[in-house]
Chain A
């Protein structure tokens, strides 16, 4: 049965990028203000908060972030819990909020995520991100996060003939879409030649295959059907949600060319929504690396396994293609403040579905899917959303 009581009534993100001189709580609070008071939702209406942050303990030496962030954002007192699932932290927070509304426990809740990453050195950030992989068995031998996706890329290249140029095309598309998104970290198109610059991070992944280190925040307000009318005439309904886990270790997986948690979570979400991949007008997927977008586009059922690279090449996933993917620029173009990312993906779905995406508006925007993926793919959350008037 599709979910029928969860509505997004407002959604916003801060600018993503190197937000110099602005700390984690200030970033968080800006996102919350944009999604509440600036969107006509009084803060006093919020009954509970679900917060995504990944690893502020290592990045800014701060744990127990949920009450800290809520207090600064003027929401002290309400239940506030932090959800951590590496890069899927934001979407696991969202899923908990969906369950809170569907259970009838609350009518109006906040979902928000934020991360402050650029105040640390690149090596420190690499070390922090590596904590999202298995420390005792993989990180400790020197496997990095880009390395995890390098291994997946090599396997995909071998099995399906995917090339470094195919991956570079994903980066070109991401930068093109981000170039018209004022909240994106990168607002400049890049050529295929530039995307192919051989500055290797983890072969075959090069600098332009990797999402950047970013600061940023994002927030949503979710309500029940009854309360939604108070805030908007056009909410977005979350009709299906799925979540799955897989081994942290890459070495414990039978297939390195697909992520089982993505396949499982998307099946659950489509089934709950009573829809199929072909019913989706567009997708927002977790393109932490270019190969990750290609594999995700296959795992969520947009293309057959092995055909994701071809789809990018043929423009099918472009903003004006038949199946746009990451129409506002994805993690690659917009940035990847880890705890904010899953929430920001829902912000993109909301804006596209209600027709508020400006130059990044996709032409068909009734129904869409978001795919947020944690760490080495050990957690994946997929949500299906529809505009309420569909």
Chain B
């Protein structure tokens, strides 16, 4: 069995431009963001798994007023995306005009990528396919 995954590694992976989800060793459920116990069977046996990066847009918002840390990035999209593997993640949404959110269609197919801001920080992100 592989080493127990940690949140620190999960977040570091995103900063390194890669994404790995947790997978329940006992029932196979794919989980991201990390959880200490499986939503399916309650097990706390987790391992890393790769995902396809394909997903569907579940919902979103456009942030106009943000804490200091994010002020220079406004307006920006935050979306909830359901991955093909069944788990949902929160991420940035790219490829749409933040001033025309009415053009965004829920249920759209999106593909995982990473957004790198000026400071070099990376966000998990999705873009319509």
Is the A/B pair a real complex?
yes
Residues of B within 8 Å of A143, CB to CB, are: 61, 63, 78, 90
Q: By CB atoms of chain B within 10 A, which of A143, A205, A250, A251 has the most? A: A251
Chain B stretch 21-68: residues in CB contact (< 8 A) with chain A: 33-35, 39, 58-68
**Interface of chain A, helix or strand or loop or mixed?**
helix
If A136-B7, A204-B101, A251-B90 touch, whether A151 touches B61 (CB-CB below 8 Å) is: yes
If A141-B78, A142-B73, A256-B58 touch, whether A202 touches B65 (CB-CB below 8 Å) is: yes
With both beta carbons as reference points, the residue of chain A lying nearest to B68 in the complex is identified as A123
With both beta carbons as reference points, the residue of chain B lying nearest to A140 in the complex is identified as B11
A249 at the interface (CB under 8 A from B): yes
Chain A stretch 239-253: residues in CB contact (< 8 A) with chain B: 249-253
Q: Is the CB of A151 within 8 A of B67?
A: no
Q: Is the CB of B60 within 8 A of A142?
A: no
Q: How far is the CB of B81 from chain A (nearest CB, A)?
A: 8
Chain A stretch 179-224: residues in CB contact (< 8 A) with chain B: 200-205
Q: Is the CB of A202 within 8 A of B73?
A: no
With both beta carbons as reference points, the residue of chain A lying nearest to B115 in the complex is identified as A141
Residues of A within 8 Å of B63, CB to CB, are: 142-144, 146-147, 150, 202
1/0 contact string of B98-113 vs chain A (CB within 8 Å): 0001000010000000
Q: By CB atoms of chain A within 10 A, which of B11, B68, B90 has the most? A: B90
If A147-B61, A256-B59 touch, whether A250 touches B66 (CB-CB below 8 Å) is: no
Residues of A within 8 Å of B61, CB to CB, are: 143, 146-147, 150-151, 153-154, 202-205
Q: How far is the CB of A147 from chain B (nearest CB, A)?
A: 5
With both beta carbons as reference points, the residue of chain A lying nearest to B61 in the complex is identified as A150
If A123-B68, A143-B78, A250-B90 touch, whether A155 touches B59 (CB-CB below 8 Å) is: yes
With both beta carbons as reference points, the residue of chain B lying nearest to A202 in the complex is identified as B61
Q: Is the CB of A250 within 8 A of B101?
A: no
Option from B62, B71, B80 in Cβ contact (under 8 Å) with A251: B80
Residues of B within 8 Å of A158, CB to CB, are: 59, 106
If A141-B124, A256-B58 touch, whether A201 touches B64 (CB-CB below 8 Å) is: yes
Residues of A within 8 Å of B11, CB to CB, are: 136
With both beta carbons as reference points, the residue of chain B lying nearest to A130 in the complex is identified as B67
Residues of A within 8 Å of B94, CB to CB, are: none
Q: How far is the CB of B39 from chain A (nearest CB, A)?
A: 8
Q: Is the CB of A150 within 8 A of B90?
A: no
Option from A136, A138, A144 in Cβ contact (under 8 Å) with B65: A144
Q: How far is the CB of B76 from chain A (nearest CB, A)?
A: 6
Q: Is the CB of B71 within 8 A of A123?
A: yes
Option from B65, B68, B101, B106 in Cβ contact (under 8 Å) with A201: B65
If A142-B92, A200-B64 touch, whether A249 touches B58 (CB-CB below 8 Å) is: no
Q: Give A305 to B66 CA distance when docked, in angstroms.
A: 31
With both beta carbons as reference points, the residue of chain A lying nearest to B80 in the complex is identified as A251
Q: By CB atoms of chain B within 10 A, which of A142, A153, A203 has the most? A: A142
1/0 contact string of B2-23 vs chain A (CB within 8 Å): 0000010001000000000000
Chain A stretch 150-187: residues in CB contact (< 8 A) with chain B: 150-155, 158
With both beta carbons as reference points, the residue of chain B lying nearest to A121 in the complex is identified as B68
Q: Give A151 to B63 CA distance when docked, in angstroms.
A: 10
Q: Is the CB of B58 within 8 A of A123?
A: no
Q: Is the CB of B67 within 8 A of A200?
A: no
Q: Is the CB of B67 within 8 A of A127?
A: yes
A232 at the interface (CB under 8 A from B): no
Q: Give A123 to B71 CA distance when docked, in angstroms.
A: 9
With both beta carbons as reference points, the residue of chain B lying nearest to A134 in the complex is identified as B33
Q: Is the CB of A127 within 8 A of B64?
A: no
1/0 contact string of B66-98 vs chain A (CB within 8 Å): 111111010110101100000011111000000
13 contacts between A and B (CB under 8 A): A123-B67, A126-B66, A126-B67, A137-B33, A142-B92, A154-B59, A155-B58, A200-B62, A201-B64, A203-B101, A250-B80, A251-B89, A252-B39
What are the nearest 3 A-B pairs in CB distance?
A: A150-B61, A203-B62, A127-B67
